[in-house]
Amino acid sequence: AQSVTQLGSHVSVSEGALVLLRCNYSSSVPPYLFWYVQYPNQGLQLLLKYTSAATLVKGINGFEAEFKKSETSFHLTKPSAHMSDAAEYFCAVSNMNRDDKIIFGKGTRLHILP
Partner 1 sequence: NAGVTQTPKFQVLKTGQSMTLQCAQDMNHNSMYWYRQDPGMGLRLIYYSASEGTTDKGEVPNGYNVSRLNKREFSLRLESAAPSQTSVYFCASRALLGTGELFFGEGSRLTVL
List contacts with partner 1 (CB under 8 A).
Answer: 6, 9, 32, 34, 36, 42-46, 49, 51, 90, 92, 94-98, 100-107
In whole angstroms, how close is the CB of 72 to partner 1 at the nearest point?
Answer: 18
Of 73 and 94, CB closest to partner 1? 94
Smallest distance, Å, CB 82 to partner 1? 23
E strand map for 39-107: 44-50, 56-58, 64-68, 73-78, 87-95, 102-104
We find the least distance from the C-beta atom of residue 105 to partner 1, in angstroms, to be 6
Phi, psi of 37 (to 5 degrees): -125, 145
* Rounded Cα gap, residues 37 and 89, in angstroms: 5
